[in-house]
């Protein structure tokens, strides 16, 4: 990502990661965990929370040390920083949310290979101050987490007809909401591997369709505006011509 | 240890637990370089090479350095550094020995560091407990064969997928589905097909 | 050069800071992770037996115990006991551990076996629980790295089938489960549990005579006749409680009945029915009459006196046989100390050798040569001037394959401390093939080093001589 031409406000830095530059649905980054740990809403959100920690912290540290690191060792240094936070987050998860740790399994250490984290470190944190980098990391990670949550929600609901809570994320209460009896439909395939691909594919198509619709609307609005301007110009011309004609007359 | 162990390991990691479709590792290159079958083959070759070599290295590091010093918890850092350095070394080496090879393989190498399939297999090898079952050195054999199987599985799936996508270019797809969305749905259908191999070994 | 140094320095600092951070967090989370693991592991046990989930656990380990006994008590929020799980090691190496569950009043609820397996998909730990009637309560996977989809399938579709079945006769699903490797590990866990549960049934029978019984060892397998085994029964600390004879009454037209006859020092102690389902009222009445003899010497008991119930003649016969065996056993006990199957000995051959004094062949009941028992000796005071030892005399049995069956010290002239150490030292030879390699010989203690050396020298000499004997025998 190129350096922003003019400084956008902090709020804009935060929200761009959620919608305009959503890591999963727009940038297609981090699709491995988006497929692998989204068999339920909670695991998806749980992964999101871990990424929030890792991405925000690594962005802060990278931004802090960005002037000290010579270019030759930029990538290895960032890898160490990211891997350190991943390891720390992994240990904390195992200690305080063992169920989440078990269900995310190998995908916790694999956060280290998530292109989202490295790309934010290189493209944003290494060129911006600490505050902006932190907000950028937070926004991107929240966007990532929300995307995973949405995928998880869809898959869990389609497969089980209900949304469980308190199972993987240690909440004070445990239970499930909704709870339609959809067992006869036999849609367990949606928590399986195939369901992951299809659900993400469908959501991408939906967002594409919205995007296309919006751009069509914008184009129409633009066309209308151009039309209007043209008309105005033509009218002005006409008027001028008439005026000049009248003046000369 | 009977040779069937190796056979089972290779079939299991190549088909039954296919790395892309059933374990969701290496999705980025799977979607990124599968537009044409030529690039898919190039990427597969690079992945196969790096995966097997990094598996051996990370396995040895885990059991001969991390375990004896009782610091297995830093395996993530150690593995990613090993893989990153390995990829750098391989890139420089290939550049030196053959311009042709570098042209066909080299461009994929930098992409591999962020390919979670490589570190995923390295982590899997130590998590699967081959060393506890077969002993450290025979376990290395099984781990290497599994890594090879995983890479073959990656190659198989990415090649098949790229040929499908080549055909897809000519198809009349609704605009919202063009590109990645329809590809993901196709990958889902392929995953369904691979589910049929469950219980093979 | 300088920029390169700078780069190296920066990388080093980053690495050091990251390392320190990780080690710090690890030292903080390590204990919590371990506590989590314990809690997770023990919660499953409480859940299986329908106990409430404890708020707090109290783990009491007795490190020195041979059975690695571990008591885990569960308490509710008010520190009221919910139940207790007592873990034991199992002699069968394939079984990870055995646990007995008790409710808050101390009633025995049942047992759980944990079997750890490594299959082609990774590790899998299975709990198999059954109650006092051998009815399976639950089979569940507590830890696994097997493919989650397969594990889920097994859990959803197949584990439920086990509950309610008899552990000794389990009906396995023998079609394709779609997760064959995982299912095979479960099958193995259930089978291992069944095999070990049977052993526990024997123990349950012995507990009727010795309530503290916790383990037993087959002292003799008679193979023929109505008396099947003589077992040595031990308590939880490994103390010998006594010997029991397992007698089987197998008359045509009746179901076989197993009786446990306890005889201590040729004194009749008790006779009980081994299995509850065989304990009919008539049989119990018949047995009761024999209890009058408790405490009498077996030679003084006139057991033919009773003959008025259907069982009496058979019980009389069984007891008679037990008593005969008991007297025989006492005579042969010494023989069997050296070769378990020995029934008679041959002539003692005295030989002229530095350290080997004599040997004696031992035979089993078919007159097959089992091996030789050697007596070897050495004067340790000869070893060096500044050491006041004395005569060391040992007895060693070596079979025809060169395996040392037993080795005991006959005479020793050392300090008490050295005596104990030497007792330990010689125990290490039992079950060994041949003399120890030099590095295996203990050199850890100083006061018995010379005796330890002497011991090894004697056994080496005996072993060399035994080689000649075996060759001759062939």
Q: What is the mean pLDDT of residues A104-108?
A: 87
Half-sphere exposure of B109 (CA within 13 A, CB side): 22
Q: Are strands C81-88 and C95-103 parallel, antiparallel or unpaired?
A: antiparallel
A221-231: buried (b, 16+ CB within 10 Å) or exposed (e) per residue?
eeeeeeeeeee
Query: Hey, are the CB atoms on B176 and A115 less than 8 Å from each other?
Result: no
Inform me whether the C-beta atom of residue C16 falls under 8 Å from chain A C-beta atoms. no
Given a cut of 90, is residue C315 above it in pLDDT? no
- CA B83 to chain C, closest CA, distance in angstroms equals 17
Query: Hey, are the CB atoms on B198 and C120 less than 8 Å from each other?
Result: no
Please give the angle made by the CA atoms of B88, B89 and B90, to the nearest 5 degrees.
Answer: 95
Residue owning tokens 């920083």: A81
CA dihedral angle for residue B71, residue B76, residue B81, residue B82, rounded to 10 degrees: 80
> In the beta sheet, which residues pair with residue C130?
C111, C136
Q: Mutate which of A193, A202, A203, A219 to test chain B, going by most B C-beta atoms within 10 A? A: A193
- CA C25 to chain A, closest CA, distance in angstroms equals 6
What is the chain B residue with the closest CA to A29? B28
**Per-residue confidence band for A143, with pLDDT thresholds at 50, 70 and 90:** very high
- CA A73 to chain C, closest CA, distance in angstroms equals 7
Please give the angle made by the CA atoms of A151, A157 and A158, to the nearest 5 degrees.
Answer: 90
So what's the pLDDT on residue C253?
58
Nearest to B199 among C120, C123, C180 (CB): C180
Q: Please, are residues C397 and C405 in contact by the beta-carbon 8 Å criterion?
A: yes
Which of chain B's residues have a Cβ under 8 Å away from the Cβ of A84? 77
Phi, psi values for residue B21, rounded to 5°: -80, -30
Q: What is the mean pLDDT of residues C13-36?
A: 88
Highest average pLDDT, of B189-193, C57-61, C244-248, C404-408, comes from B189-193
> In the beta sheet, which residues pair with residue C375?
C358, C395
Q: What is the mean pLDDT of residues C377-403?
A: 77
If one compares B78 and A176, the residue with the highest pLDDT of the two is B78
Inform me whether the C-beta atom of residue A98 falls under 8 Å from chain C C-beta atoms. yes
So what's the pLDDT on residue C380?
75
Given a cut of 80, is residue A7 above it in pLDDT? no
Strand segments, DSSP code E, in C189-308 are: 215-221, 227-234, 240-249, 257-264, 267-273
Query: Which DSSP string do the residues of C392-418 spell out, in sequence order?
Result: EEEEEEEETTSBEEEEEEEE--S-HHH
Q: Helix A74-96 and helix A41-65: axis angle, to 10°?
A: 140
Q: What is the mean pLDDT of residues C196-208?
A: 77
Q: What is the mean pLDDT of residues A218-245?
A: 88
Inform me whether the C-beta atom of residue B166 falls under 8 Å from chain C C-beta atoms. no
Which of chain C's residues have a Cβ under 8 Å away from the Cβ of B133? 118
Query: Hey, are the CB atoms on B80 and A79 less than 8 Å from each other?
Result: yes
C434 C-beta neighbours (distance < 10 Å), count: 16
Q: Please, are residues B123 and A110 in contact by the beta-carbon 8 Å criterion?
A: yes
So what's the pLDDT on residue C365?
75
- The whole-angstrom separation of Cα C390 and Cα A200 is 86
- CA A143 to chain C, closest CA, distance in angstroms equals 27
If one compares C17 and C207, the residue with the highest pLDDT of the two is C17
Reported as type and span, the H/E element at residue C458 is helix C449-473
Nearest to C122 among B74, B128, B199 (CB): B128
Tell me, what's the ipTM? 0.86
Inform me whether the C-beta atom of residue A76 falls under 8 Å from chain C C-beta atoms. yes
Half-sphere exposure of B131 (CA within 13 A, CB side): 15
- The whole-angstrom separation of Cα B63 and Cα C307 is 72
Q: Among A91-95, B73-77, C233-237, where is mean pLDDT lowest?
A: C233-237
**Per-residue confidence band for A182, with pLDDT thresholds at 50, 70 and 90:** low
**Per-residue confidence band for B59, with pLDDT thresholds at 50, 70 and 90:** very high
Over C429-454, what HEC string results? CCCCECCCCHHHCCCCCCCCHHHHHH
A94: which residues sit within 8 A by CB, 6+ positions away?
A: A101, C29, C33, C36
Which of chain B's residues have a Cβ under 8 Å away from the Cβ of A115? 28, 114
If one compares C183 and A144, the residue with the highest pLDDT of the two is A144
What is the separation, in whole angstroms, between the first and last Cα of chain B?
Answer: 17
**Per-residue confidence band for C66, with pLDDT thresholds at 50, 70 and 90:** very low
CA dihedral angle for residue C151, residue C154, residue C156, residue C158, rounded to 10 degrees: -160
Whole-number percent of chain C with pLDDT over 70: 78
Which of chain B's residues have a Cβ under 8 Å away from the Cβ of C180? 199
Query: Which chains would you list as touching A if contact means 3+ CB atom pairs under 8 Å?
Result: B, C
So what's the pLDDT on residue C65?
45
So what's the pLDDT on residue A48?
93
Q: Among B16-30, B38-52, B57-71, C271-285, where is mean pLDDT lowest?
A: C271-285
Phi, psi values for residue B111, rounded to 5°: -65, -20
A195-213: buried (b, 16+ CB within 10 Å) or exposed (e) per residue?
bbbbbbbbbbbebbeeeee
So what's the pLDDT on residue C384?
65
Query: Hey, are the CB atoms on B188 and A84 less than 8 Å from each other?
Result: no
Q: Please, are residues B168 and B182 in contact by the beta-carbon 8 Å criterion?
A: yes
Which of chain C's residues have a Cβ under 8 Å away from the Cβ of A76? 11
* Pairs of CB atoms within 8 A across B/C: 37
So what's the pLDDT on residue C444?
40
- The whole-angstrom separation of Cα C354 and Cα C376 is 9
- CA B55 to chain A, closest CA, distance in angstroms equals 15
Which two structure tokens, joined as six digits, stand for B137? 């050195």
Q: Helix C2-48 and helix A74-96: axis angle, to 10°?
A: 20
**Per-residue confidence band for B73, with pLDDT thresholds at 50, 70 and 90:** confident
Which of chain B's residues have a Cβ under 8 Å away from the Cβ of A212? 175-176
So what's the pLDDT on residue C64?
42
Q: Among A66-70, A211-215, C363-367, where is mean pLDDT lowest?
A: C363-367
- CA B31 to chain A, closest CA, distance in angstroms equals 9
Residue from B152, B142, B115, B148 nearest B24 by CA: B115
**Per-residue confidence band for C435, with pLDDT thresholds at 50, 70 and 90:** low
What is the chain C residue with the closest CA to B81? C15
Reported as type and span, the H/E element at residue C22 is helix C2-48
B6 C-beta neighbours (distance < 10 Å), count: 17
Q: Among A52-56, B138-142, B193-197, where is mean pLDDT lowest?
A: B193-197
Residue from C7, B177, C379 nearest A209 by CA: B177
- The whole-angstrom separation of Cα C221 and Cα C219 is 7
Length of chain A: 249
Highest average pLDDT, of A7-16, A236-245, C250-259, comes from A236-245
Whole-number percent of chain B with pLDDT over 70: 95
- The whole-angstrom separation of Cα A92 and Cα A86 is 10
Q: What is the mean pLDDT of residues B116-134?
A: 85
**Per-residue confidence band for A81, with pLDDT thresholds at 50, 70 and 90:** very high
Q: What is the mean pLDDT of residues A40-45?
A: 89
C28: which residues sit within 8 A by CB, 6+ positions away?
A: none
Please give the angle made by the CA atoms of B34, B38 and B40, to the nearest 5 degrees.
Answer: 35
How confident is the prediction for chain A on average, in pLDDT?
85
Q: What is the mean pLDDT of residues C104-126?
A: 82
Give the burial class of C277: count Cβ atoms within 10 A of its Cβ; 0-12 exposed, 13-18 middle, 19 or more buried: exposed
Q: Mutate which of C20, C122, C177 to test chain B, going by most B C-beta atoms within 10 A? A: C122
How confident is the prediction for chain B on average, in pLDDT?
85
Inform me whether the C-beta atom of residue B80 falls under 8 Å from chain C C-beta atoms. no
Sequence ranges of the domains in chain B: 4-195
Q: What is the mean pLDDT of residues C305-317?
A: 61
Query: Which chains would you list as touching B if contact means 3+ CB atom pairs under 8 Å?
Result: A, C
Sequence ranges of the domains in chain A: 10-191, 192-249
Which of chain A's residues have a Cβ under 8 Å away from the Cβ of B120? 106, 110, 113
Q: What is the mean pLDDT of residues A114-119?
A: 85
How confident is the prediction for chain C on average, in pLDDT?
77
Which tens digits make up the pLDDT trace of C269-283?
888 888 776 777 777
Q: What is the mean pLDDT of residues C19-29?
A: 90
Query: Hey, are the CB atoms on A201 and B181 less than 8 Å from each other?
Result: yes
Whole-number percent of chain B with pLDDT over 90: 24
Nearest to B127 among A33, A106, A189 (CB): A106
Query: Which DSSP string do the residues of B13-81 spell out, in sequence order?
Result: IIIIT-TTTTT--SHHHHHHS-SSHHHHHHHHHHHHHHHHHHHHHHHHHIIIIITTTT-GGGHHHHHHH
So what's the pLDDT on residue C328?
67
Q: Among A39-53, A136-150, B78-92, C136-150, where is mean pLDDT lowest?
A: C136-150
Which of chain A's residues have a Cβ under 8 Å away from the Cβ of B192? 189, 194
Sheet of strand C108-119, all strands in order from the earlier edge strand to the far edge: C56-61, C70-75, C81-88, C95-103, C108-119, C122-130, C136-144
- CA B86 to chain A, closest CA, distance in angstroms equals 12
Given a cut of 60, is residue C438 above it in pLDDT? no
Residues 129-188 of C with CB under 8 A from A: 149
Q: Are strands C227-234 and C215-221 parallel, antiparallel or unpaired?
A: antiparallel
- CA B185 to chain A, closest CA, distance in angstroms equals 5
A66: which residues sit within 8 A by CB, 6+ positions away?
A: A125, A126, A127
Which two structure tokens, joined as six digits, stand for A66? 């960005």
Reported as type and span, the H/E element at residue A55 is helix A41-65
Query: Hey, are the CB atoms on B74 and C19 less than 8 Å from each other?
Result: yes
Q: What is the mean pLDDT of residues B136-141?
A: 88
Q: Mutate which of B116, B153, B165 to test chain A, going by most A C-beta atoms within 10 A? A: B116
């Amino acid at each position: 990502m190129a350096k922003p031409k003019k400084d956008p406000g902090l709020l804009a830095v935060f929200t761009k990661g959620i919608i305009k530059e959503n890591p999963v649905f727009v940038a297609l980054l981090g699709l491995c965990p988006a497929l692998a740990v989204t068999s339920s809403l909670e695991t998806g959100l749980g992964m999101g929370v871990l990424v929030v920690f890792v991405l925000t912290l690594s962005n802060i540290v990278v931004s802090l040390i960005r002037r000290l690191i010579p270019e030759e060792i930029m990538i290895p240094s960032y890898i160490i920083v990211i891997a350190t936070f991943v390891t720390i987050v992994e240990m904390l998860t195992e200690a305080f949310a063992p169920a989440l740790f078990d269900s995310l399994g190998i995908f916790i250490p694999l956060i280290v290979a998530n292109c989202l984290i490295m790309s934010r470190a290189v493209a944003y944190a290494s060129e911006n101050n600490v505050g902006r980098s932190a907000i950028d990391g937070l926004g991107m990670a929240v966007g990532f987490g929300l995307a995973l949550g949405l995928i998880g929600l869809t898959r869990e609901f389609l497969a089980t007809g209900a949304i469980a809570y308190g199972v993987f994320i240690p909440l004070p209460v445990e239970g499930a909401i909704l709870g339609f009896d959809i067992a006869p439909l036999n849609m367990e395939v949606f928590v399986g591997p195939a369901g992951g691909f299809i659900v993400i594919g469908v959501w991408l198509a939906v967002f594409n369709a919205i995007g296309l619709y919006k751009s069509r609307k914008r184009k129409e609005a633009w066309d209308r505006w151009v039309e209007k301007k043209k008309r105005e110009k033509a009218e002005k011309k006409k008027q001028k011509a008439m005026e000049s004609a009248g003046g000369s007359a | 240890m009977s040779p069937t162990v190796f056979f089972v390991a290779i079939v299991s990691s190549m088909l039954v637990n296919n790395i892309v479709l059933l374990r969701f590792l290496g999705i980025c290159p799977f979607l990124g370089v599968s537009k044409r079958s030529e690039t898919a083959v190039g990427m597969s070759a690079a992945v196969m090479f790096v995966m097997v070599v990094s598996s051996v290295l990370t396995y040895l590091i885990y059991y001969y350095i991390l375990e004896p010093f009782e610091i297995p918890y830093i395996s993530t850092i150690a593995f990613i550094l090993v893989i990153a350095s390995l990829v750098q070394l391989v890139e420089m080496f290939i550049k030196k020995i053959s311009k042709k090879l570098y042209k066909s393989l080299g461009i994929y190498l930098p992409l591999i560091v962020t390919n979670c399939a490589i570190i995923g297999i390295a982590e899997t090898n130590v998590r699967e407990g081959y060393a506890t079952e077969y002993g450290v050195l025979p376990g290395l054999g099984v781990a290497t064969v599994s890594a090879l199987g995983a890479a073959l599985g990656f190659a198989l799936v990415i090649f098949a997928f790229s040929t499908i996508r080549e055909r897809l270019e000519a198809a009349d797809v609704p605009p919202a589905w063009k590109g990645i969305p329809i590809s993901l749905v196709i990958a889902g259908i392929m995953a369904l097909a691979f589910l049929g191999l469950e219980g093979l070994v | 050069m300088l920029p390169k140094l700078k780069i190296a320095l920066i990388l080093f600092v980053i690495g050091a800071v990251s390392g320190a951070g990780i080690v710090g967090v690890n030292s903080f989370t390590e204990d919590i992770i371990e506590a989590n693991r314990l809690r997770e592991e023990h919660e499953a046990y409480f859940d299986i037996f329908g106990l409430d989930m404890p708020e707090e656990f109290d783990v009491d380990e007795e490190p020195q115990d041979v059975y690695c006994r571990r008591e885990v008590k569960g308490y509710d929020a008010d520190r009221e006991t919910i139940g207790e799980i007592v873990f034991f090691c199992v002699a069968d190496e394939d079984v990870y551990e055995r646990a007995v569950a008790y409710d808050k009043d101390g009633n025995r609820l049942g047992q759980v076996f944990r079997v750890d397996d490594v299959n082609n998909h990774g590790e899998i730990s299975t709990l198999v629980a059954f109650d006092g009637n051998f009815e399976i309560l639950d089979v569940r996977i507590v830890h696994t790295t097997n493919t989650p989809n397969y594990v889920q399938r097994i859990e959803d579709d197949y584990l439920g089938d086990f509950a309610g079945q008899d552990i000794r006769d389990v009906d396995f699903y023998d079609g394709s489960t779609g997760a064959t490797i995982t299912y095979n590990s479960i099958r193995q866990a259930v089978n291992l549990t069944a095999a070990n549960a049977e052993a526990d049934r024997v123990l349950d029978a012995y507990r009727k005579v010795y309530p503290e019984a916790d383990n037993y060892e087959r002292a003799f397998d008679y193979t023929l006749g109505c008396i099947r085994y003589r077992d040595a029964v031990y308590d939880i600390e490994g103390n010998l409680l006594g010997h029991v004879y397992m007698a089987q009454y197998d008359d045509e037209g009746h179901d076989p009945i197993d009786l446990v006859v306890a005889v201590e020092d040729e004194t009749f102690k008790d006779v009980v029915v081994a299995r509850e389902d065989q304990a009919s009222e008539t049989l119990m009445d018949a047995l009761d009459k024999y209890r009058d003899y408790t405490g009498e010497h077996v030679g003084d008991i006139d057991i033919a006196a009773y003959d008025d119930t259907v069982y009496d003649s058979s019980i009389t016969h069984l007891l008679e046989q037990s008593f005969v065996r008991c007297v025989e056993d006492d005579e042969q006990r010494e023989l069997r100390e050296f070769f378990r199957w020995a029934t008679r000995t041959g002539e003692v051959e005295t030989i002229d050798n530095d350290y080997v004094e004599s040997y004696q062949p031992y035979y089993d009941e078919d007159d097959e040569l089992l091996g030789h028992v050697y007596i070897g000796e050495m004067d340790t005071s000869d070893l060096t001037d500044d050491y006041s030892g004395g005569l060391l005399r040992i007895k060693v049995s070596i079979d025809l394959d060169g395996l040392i069956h037993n080795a005991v010290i006959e005479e020793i002239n050392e300090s008490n401390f050295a005596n104990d150490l030497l007792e330990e030292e010689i125990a290490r030879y039992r079950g060994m093939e041949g003399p120890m390699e030099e590095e295996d010989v203990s050199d850890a203690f100083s006061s018995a080093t010379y005796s330890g050396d002497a011991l090894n020298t004697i056994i080496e000499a005996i072993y060399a001589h035994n080689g000649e004997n075996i060759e001759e025998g062939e």
